[in-house]
Chain A
Amino acid sequence: MRKFLAILVCKMGRAVGKLVGKGSSMPGKFALKICPDILRQVELPQHVIAVTGSNGKTSTVEMIAAILRAGGKTVVYNEEGANQIEGVTTMVLTHATFGGRVNADVLLIESDERYAAHSFQFFHPTEFVITNLYRDQMTRNGHPEWVYDAILPAIAPETELILNADDPLSSCFADGHERVQWFGLDRCSTDTDAPTGVYHDGAYCPVCHAPMEYDYVHYNHIGAYRCTKCSHCKPKTDYTATSLDLERGSLTIDGTVTIQLAFRSIYNVYNILAAYAACRRVGIAQDTIAGVINNYILKNGRMQKFILGNHHGVLLTSKHENSIAYDTNLRYIASTRSDCVVLVIVDAVSRKYFTSETSWLWDIDFDQLNVPHVKKILLAGQYCNDLAERFSFTGIPEEKLEVQPSIPKTAARLQDGAEQALAGREDLYVVTCFSDRDKLLTLPGVKKEA
């Protein structure tokens, strides 16, 4: 009876919530109050795929859903992004019959990494993709090892782990676990011999803390690592990017599947690899996967094109408090060849209140912008002083920098082009977070492109 009531309340709550435009967590919260172990009582599909990690969760889940649907599977997933237990409960019960059976071939869950153990206390994923573990949202997450410890109890022995072989920390989830599938990237032309970036989280082995060595590094500390003392090293991969040419945008997986990248970022490559691995485990054909991923454009708007004055703009969404997300987008800008202007906006670190937490700015390798084709760098938002102080420790010439707290005024500078450098037709790259992006994109002079 409680099960039926919980499902009924959740369905009704969700229907009302949709009408009034409210979030998707509340119905699940009510359902859990009525029947705390409701998630144990429902009948789940044969495949329950969970995706967690610091970066790339949403993109990977979106891609998996698109591929599975193209492969003829019915998929239920938390499209609205509510990724803690309440949101997961809403999603499951909304798609369940009143008898408690979820009508789908696959239940696909993007799970908050800190709360995965909580979300999966009543059921276990059949396949669990862990994309990576990086420094991320220090204001809530502590540090990557703390998040590792939080995820660990969420892993059940019967779950098949799908892990990133190139990440020295998240690969540790395989220790003592029998069912593991690995995805990773072979050596490619853009690799370096040693870790890059401001800090070196891969300098020491996460298992024994002895120094690590690298055969090659794709970015930051992601690559082919080897502990100098214990056996921790990059494992042999089951799903492999065997060839990657970011300049031409071509990726080959497992030597046979060729993919044209819509977004030529190595970040995107890892999301594709994770999605590819998960979908292969569910039995989707290589051709079907390639067909979907070829020129796949993410729906979540992480890369938004726009016009501002004479500038063709690209907004690269980089999570604040996540230095690797920033580093990856800065690397992308550095890899472009045309003259450009870069705008970095940090206006709100927390959506709730002003916080003094700006240490993450010091973890970002802004020196990547110290290249001739970056003609000007504009720093805007409430934290522009913090940004300027951080930039003052880079090798970027001071005359390239312009600091302005007001985002509209900064946009106006780009629009009317009072100075030659800004009046041109250079490409414009904007690096900022979800919390700040619309402060630029909704300005009257900004015309978004599809």
Chain B
Amino acid sequence: MEFRFIHFYPDLMSLYGSYANLSVLKRYLEELGNTVVVESVLPGQEIDLAGADFLFMGAGTERAQKAALADFMRCSDAVKAAAERGTAMLFAGTAMELLGKTITDAGGTIYDGMGLADFVAVQGPHRMVGDVYGVTDLYSGAVVGFMNKCAHITGVKTPLLTSLAMGFGNEAEGGPEGFHWNHVFASELTGPLLVKNPRLLDTVADAILRQRNASLPEERPANRWADGSYAITAEQLRLRCEAQKTTK
């Protein structure tokens, strides 16, 4: 099969190696015998989302996020329609905040979001920083990652990570993180979360395939480096969680 990926603002929203989410997903589907074409969308550039298999936007600074938002709103209806149809999409880092109703910056200015979800994001003068170790309803096993954000997000009814044993979630430390609805995945987890979490990569890849009436094959190419990295990270963060419990 040939898949069409849309990468929104690859230079503007490019913090923390976010692009690697797209790279790893592309390579994974190609290893499964598919062809993947990635189209980049720059601010102001025309884009046709009809027939797109996957939409992606990575993390940006708070200022870059507002610049991206100003442009992205023209795509709002098309993205919402694609989400309704079940098109897979990932909004990573500050890009997640664009999906909600509003974003309030640290100075109190309120920006309209695209309203795909009911949540609101309020940015502040302090950053919430630290490792994340949590779980999701999508599969068993831990989700690992790192959080570095300045926004509290309230009103998420369907989080991606249902609870955290360590780290900051949408609203509070230890609370749910991210957003998941239909095949829309969003998380403020930093950087290449699909590289760090091979099973989340499976999940997103499967969502893309399902829209084409296919699914992940039982036999899949192993990635010993990503699997090895995940195993070490999950174990080390688990040990830190246990140590934190003991000291509390």
Contacts and interface: CB of A to CB of B under 8 A. Distances in A.
Interface of A: 135, 138-140, 142-146, 198-201, 203-204, 206, 209, 353-363, 382-383, 385-386, 388-389, 392-393, 403
A360 B232 CA distance: 18
A358 B237 CA distance: 14
Given A200-B14, A209-B12, A385-B226, 18 more contacts: A135-B15, A138-B16, A138-B190, A142-B127, A142-B148, A144-B61, A145-B63, A146-B150, A203-B12, A204-B11, A354-B236, A356-B131, A358-B229, A363-B17, A385-B228, A385-B229, A393-B20, A403-B225
B233 A356 contact: yes
Given A140-B129, A354-B236, A361 B17 contact: yes
A295 to B, nearest CB: 38
B182 interface: no
Interface string B1-35: 00000000001101111111001100100000000
Contact of A359 (B16, B63, B129, B232): B16
Give the contact-size bracket for chain B.
Answer: 35 or more
Contacts of A209: 12, 63-64, 67
B12 A357 contact: no
Interface string B195-231: 1100000000000000000000000000111101100
Contacts of B145: 356
Question: 9 nearest interchain CB pairs?
Answer: A362-B17, A359-B191, A385-B228, A203-B11, A354-B236, A389-B225, A385-B229, A209-B67, A359-B16
B62 interface: yes
Nearest to A389: B225
Given A143-B61, A356-B146, A362-B20, A199 B12 contact: no
Nearest to B60: A143
Contacts of B195: 362, 389
Given A140-B129, A385-B225, A389-B223, A359 B64 contact: no
Contact of B131 (A140, A142, A355, A393): A355
Contacts of B64: 145, 204, 209
Contacts of B191: 357-359, 362
B225 A199 contact: no
Interface in B44-79: 61-64, 67
- Most chain B Cβ neighbours within 10 Å, of A199, A200, A403: A199
A199 B146 contact: no
Interface in B145-173: 145-146, 148, 150
A356 B196 contact: yes
A389 B131 contact: no
Nearest to B58: A199
Interface of B: 11-12, 14-20, 23-24, 27, 61-64, 67, 127, 129, 131-132, 144-146, 148, 150, 190-192, 195-196, 223-226, 228-229, 232-233, 236-237, 240
A426 B43 CA distance: 48
11 contacts: A142-B150, A145-B61, A146-B127, A354-B236, A359-B18, A359-B192, A362-B17, A362-B192, A385-B229, A389-B195, A389-B223
Contacts of B228: 385
A98 B191 CA distance: 52
Given A209-B64, A363-B17, A385-B229, A353 B240 contact: yes
Contacts of B226: 385, 389
Contacts of B196: 356, 358
- Most chain B Cβ neighbours within 10 Å, of A138, A353, A359: A359
Contacts of A385: 224-226, 228-229, 232
B124 to A, nearest CB: 12
Contacts of A204: 11-12, 64, 67
B188 to A, nearest CB: 13
Contacts of B224: 385
Given A140-B129, A385-B229, A393 B14 contact: no
A253 B76 CA distance: 53
B177 to A, nearest CB: 14
B127 A357 contact: no
B23 A393 contact: yes
A169 to B, nearest CB: 10
Contacts of B150: 142, 146
Contacts of A357: 131, 146, 190-191
A383 B150 CA distance: 28
- Most chain B Cβ neighbours within 10 Å, of A140, A356, A357, A383: A356
A40 B165 CA distance: 45
A350 to B, nearest CB: 9
Given A139-B148, A362-B20, A382 B11 contact: no
